[in-house]
Every structure is written in C-alpha cells, then in structure tokens.
Amino acid sequence: MTNQVVLSGNTGDILYFMRVLLFTAFLLMGYELSRPNPSSSEKEQAPLLPDTTQERPSLPPWQRKASERAVVKYAASQEKKWRRWNEAMFERSD
C-alpha cells in the first residue's frame, strides 16, 4: 500500500492558472493606471500642486521681499557650485 495523495487534477495546472491570472491582473492594472483621466468638465483638472508663479496676495510685503532675496541667493550659490563642478570635471589645469 502506498501513501499517495489523491487530487482532483494536477497541481501544475492550478499553479499555471494562478500565474496566468496574476499576469492578466497586473496587465489590466498597468493599462488602467496608464490611461489618462477624462476631465469631468471642459476645463482641465487642477494640478496636484498650485502654480508657484502666481502672486500670492496673502503674503505680507516683508515676507515677499525676503523670499525674493532667498531665491536670488540660492540661484547664485547654485551657479557658483555648478561652475566649480564644471571646472573640476571638464577644464584641465595644465
């Protein structure tokens, strides 16, 4: 007498079916996520982040001036950093 488990079908068939089912689920999910969302109205939907180029009337004048100075200083420091990096990487000093 042998100890064999009696199954209704081959276990390979079940695993194959599960792999195919998982593959089709991922394929469908990828398709659904890549489709553009139709806009519900004639206007475009609002972006996730507000437009940063707009003037904000709620900011006090001193904060607006401080922000502008910070942006100018940040841009100058980035320019200096990239200029040094460019000189170090591409310009030879013989």
pLDDT tens digit at each of 94 positions of the chain: 556 655 556 667 888 999 999 999 999 999 999 988 766 554 555 556 666 656 667 888 899 899 999 999 999 999 999 999 988 888 766 5
Same domain, 63 and 93: yes
Q: Are residues 32 and 62 in the same domain?
A: no
**Residue 39 near residue 45, CB atoms below 8 Å:** yes
3-state SS, one letter per residue, for 34-77: HCCCCCCCCCCCCCCCCCCCCCCCCCCHHHHHHHHHHHHHHHHH
Residue 86: inside a domain: yes
Total number of domains in the chain: 2
Does residue 78 sit within a domain? yes
In this prediction the pTM is 0.38
In a domain, 67, yes or no: yes
- Whether residue 20 is contained in a domain is answered as yes
Residue 46 resides in a domain? no
In a domain, 75, yes or no: yes
Q: What is the domain range of residue 66?
A: 58-94
